[in-house]
DNA sequence: CTGTTAGCGCCTTCAG
DNA sequence: CTGAAGGCGCTAACAG
């Protein structure tokens, strides 16, 4: 401890996992990201401090006081007060996913382009495209509505994906104001199953659903099975991330390596990588979509 | 940082994840344990420092120097040098699973009794019981042999489970020297599938396999399906942990809450819980076993 | 009630 | 080449 004071460095990277620390470990994407961070930290002889975010106002102060040499912030919202704290420390900060900030590096794929690409496949030939979305804002309000105001989404990753999906829907001939968007409060198969069940039970059920994670897509598939729908003829479904579950269920999805992105974040935060650059993604087309 | 020096406390708990940090995040059990630790840390306003273990000799020194107020050690072996370092710091230490050490609290279920209970079910009516085991020693040597010398296993959790399974096998009428034990190097469905495939292809294939995790059990089930075996008539299988996969595949398993155990560890390390006490477990019998 | 100071433990620098 | 000291930033205790 005294060594840290004297040397001015702590040998620790701080990882801020967004609003609810507890959820983070339940999200396989976040875990895979952490594995990437851990890998680089271990190799560099650095420790990795998970900064506890309970959602209370004192979180910001705690983060500011954390004994770490740099910060990695897991995907969060534009208005997350913790981001302000992190920047105020003037220590190296790397944001995963977004938001993009002056004074912080950004490690992310091009979510908008990826969403446009997966949307083109899942919405192909669909007359009633729909979206099962991750939260739009930090209050994690759930809703199901048409023509969601995209700019109101304060999670930039969600916002960019919606923007890409909008372009894809319009390219497929459906106006955004006709696209149903079901917003979930968590990234979780169970909740996605519930909202998808409701969507599919409506008078005018969707014939294509783009989900924002493989987890959610699995929930949608379960709802579709319960409703007796044939995939992809009656309902096309896409996921995101290409986790093992996507291969298992034959999901069309956007493949990205969150683990590699975690490693990139750590390298940038440690000054081992010069700048942040756009991360790679690719489209994986499987049997859950037409075409 | 200076505050820590002055006050003598860092507001951080250290979590040592055993030999290979990288594997830890791939193991759903470890992740669930971390979620429990994180929960308590967040509530107490503590940070949680993952101490990087690469397997190199300098790990011990790094752990000893870590800026943390207490340690939680995830299940490891009797001879792990990191344990010596942790004890030498004279800071509060809590070991999960084992080994039991003077000067450290232990949070664990009674693995031997639980193994005896699950063994009684999976080995019931079996004439050729077998075990798919987690590593016995830190070198993670793989082997398949009969009458494994249980006392040679330096991971106490593995040792206690083998001891319980031995009692169950003998109660079911098979001498331990006739019980095939396949030792894997990792806790992983793929490797378990490979070793189980080999077991099932032998001249005298087992008709009951107790695995040490649900992950491994899923691998065994895959091998059994590939071999065209009916479960449980031709092959009974049991897992351990009762993860979601166990319910999905109808696995008989030992249910324990690693998350709750992680929370217990954190509470004990923070001095919120008085002593360590035995954690709860229960037997969940599903269709993968006879009876 | 406000302002000053000593010292937490280590490392680096400088003196002997 | 070995030994003493100052100071990292903060806070608790004490003096004014």
pLDDT, tens only, A214-231: 999 999 999 999 999 999
Residue B98: the pLDDT is 81
B244-267 residue pLDDT tens: 999 999 999 999 999 999 999 999
User: Dihedral sign, CA of A271, A274, A275, A278?
Assistant: negative
Residue from B47, B71, B247 to probe the interface with A (highest A Cβ count within 10 Å):
B47
Residue A3 DSSP SS3: helix
Q: Are A110 and A144 in contact (CB under 8 A)?
A: no
Q: How far is A127 from chain B (nearest CA, A)?
A: 34
Q: What is the mean pLDDT of residues B18-41?
A: 87
Banded pLDDT at B291 (limits 50, 70, 90): confident
Q: Which two tokens stand for residue B69?
A: 């107020």
- Number of H helices and number of E strands within chain A? 11, 12
Q: Which residue of B has its CA nearest to A45?
A: B52
- pLDDT greater than 90 at residue A248: yes
- pLDDT greater than 80 at residue B274: no
- pLDDT greater at residue B195 or residue A272: B195
Residue A263: the pLDDT is 96
CA distance A122 to A128: 11
Question: What is the 8-class DSSP label of residue A251?
Answer: -
- In the numeric block, the tokens 């075996």 are attached to B229
- The pLDDT > 70 percentage for chain B reads 99
- pLDDT greater than 90 at residue B32: yes
Q: Is the CB of A1 under 7 A from strand C?
A: yes
Banded pLDDT at A276 (limits 50, 70, 90): low
Residue A21: the pLDDT is 72
Residues 6 or more apart whose Cβ sits within 8 Å of residue A277: none
Q: What are phi and psi of B9, to 5 degrees?
A: -140, 145
Q: For A159 and D14, how far is CA from C1' in angstroms?
A: 58
Q: How many angstroms separate the Cα of A100 from the Cα of each of A51, A95, A106, A110, A154? A: 21, 7, 6, 12, 12
CA distance A119 to A137: 22
Residue A56: the pLDDT is 84
Interchain CB contacts (distance < 8 Å): A and B: 107
Q: Which two tokens stand for residue A197?
A: 């069940």
Residue from A42, A56, A68, A260 to probe the interface with B (highest B Cβ count within 10 Å):
A42
Q: With an 8 Å Cβ cutoff, are B1 and A3 in contact?
A: no
Q: Which two tokens stand for residue B96?
A: 């999960």
Range in B6-20, B117-131, B234-248 the model is least confident about: B6-20
CA distance A195 to B77: 46
- pLDDT greater than 80 at residue A268: yes
- pLDDT greater than 90 at residue B53: no
- pLDDT greater at residue A27 or residue A128: A128
Q: For B121 and C5, how far is CA from C1' in angstroms?
A: 71
Question: What nucleotide is nearest A6 when CA is compared to C1'?
Answer: D8
CA distance B224 to B189: 13
Task: Let me know if B14 is exposed, middle or buried by CB neighbors in 10 A (0-12, 13-18, 19+).
Answer: buried
Residue from A24, A38, A43, A89 to probe the interface with B (highest B Cβ count within 10 Å):
A38
Residue B23: the pLDDT is 76
CA distance A222 to A213: 14
Banded pLDDT at B108 (limits 50, 70, 90): very high
Q: How far is B21 from chain A (nearest CA, A)?
A: 7
- In the numeric block, the tokens 């450290």 are attached to B104
Q: With an 8 Å Cβ cutoff, are B25 and A41 in contact?
A: no
Q: Are A180 and A199 in contact (CB under 8 A)?
A: yes
Name the pTM for this structure: 0.93
CA distance B268 to B277: 10
CA distance B274 to B66: 24
**Mean pLDDT score of chain A:** 94
Q: Which residue of A has its CA nearest to B17?
A: A38
Residues of B in contact with A39 (CB under 8 A): 21-22
B216-227 residue pLDDT tens: 999 999 999 999
- pLDDT greater than 90 at residue B78: yes
Banded pLDDT at A34 (limits 50, 70, 90): very high
Residue A238: the pLDDT is 98
Whether the CB of A79 is below 8 Å from some CB of chain B: the reply is: no
Banded pLDDT at B276 (limits 50, 70, 90): low
The closest of B1, B5, B50 to A68, measured between CA atoms, is: B1
Q: What is the mean pLDDT of residues B145-171?
A: 97
Whether the CB of A34 is below 8 Å from some CB of chain B: the reply is: yes
CA distance B264 to A70: 30
Question: What nucleotide is nearest A1 when CA is compared to C1'?
Answer: C9
Task: Let me know if A244 is exposed, middle or buried by CB neighbors in 10 A (0-12, 13-18, 19+).
Answer: exposed
Residue B220: the pLDDT is 98
Whether the CB of A266 is below 8 Å from some CB of chain B: the reply is: no
Task: Let me know if A228 is exposed, middle or buried by CB neighbors in 10 A (0-12, 13-18, 19+).
Answer: exposed
Cβ-based neighbour number of residue A166 at 10 Å: 23
Q: For B270 and D15, how far is CA from C1' in angstroms?
A: 38
Banded pLDDT at A277 (limits 50, 70, 90): confident
CA distance A173 to A195: 25
Whether the CB of B12 is below 8 Å from some CB of chain A: the reply is: yes
CA distance B269 to B115: 28
Residue B147 DSSP SS3: coil
Residue B25: the pLDDT is 85
Range in A20-34, A247-261, B26-40, B157-171 the model is least confident about: A20-34
Q: Are B75 and B20 in contact (CB under 8 A)?
A: no
**Mean pLDDT score of chain B:** 94
Of B2, B39, B49, the CB nearest to A48: B49
């Amino acid at each position: 401890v005294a060594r840290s004071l004297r040397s001015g460095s702590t040998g620790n990277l701080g990882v801020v996992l967004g609003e609810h620390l507890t959820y983070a470990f339940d999200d396989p994407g976040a875990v895979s990201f952490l594995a990437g961070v851990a890998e680089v930290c271990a190799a560099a002889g650095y420790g990795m401090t998970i900064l506890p975010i309970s959602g209370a106002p004192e979180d910001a102060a705690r983060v500011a006081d954390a004994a770490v040499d740099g910060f990695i912030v897991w995907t969060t919202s534009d208005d997350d007060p913790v981001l302000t704290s992190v920047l105020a420390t003037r220590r190296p900060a790397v944001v995963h996913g977004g938001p993009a900030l002056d004074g912080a590096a950004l490690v992310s794929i091009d979510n908008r382009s990826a969403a446009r690409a997966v949307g083109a496949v899942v919405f192909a030939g669909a007359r009633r495209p729909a979206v099962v979305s991750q939260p739009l804002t930090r209050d994690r309000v759930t809703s199901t509505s048409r023509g969601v105001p995209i700019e109101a989404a304060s999670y930039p990753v969600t916002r960019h994906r919606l923007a890409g999906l909008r372009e894809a829907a319009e390219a497929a001939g459906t106006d955004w104001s006709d696209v149903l968007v079901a917003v979930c409060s968590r990234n979780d198969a169970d909740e996605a199953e519930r909202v998808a069940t409701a969507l599919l039970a409506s008078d005018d059920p969707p014939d294509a659903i783009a989900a924002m994670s493989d987890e959610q897509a699995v929930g949608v598939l379960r709802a579709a099975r319960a409703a007796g729908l044939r995939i992809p003829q009656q309902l096309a479904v896409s996921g995101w991330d290409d986790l093992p579950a996507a291969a298992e269920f034959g999901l069309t999805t956007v493949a990205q390596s969150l683990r590699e992105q975690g490693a990139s974040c750590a390298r940038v935060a440690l000054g081992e990588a010069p700048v942040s650059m756009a991360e790679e993604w690719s489209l994986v087309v499987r049997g859950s979509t037409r075409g």
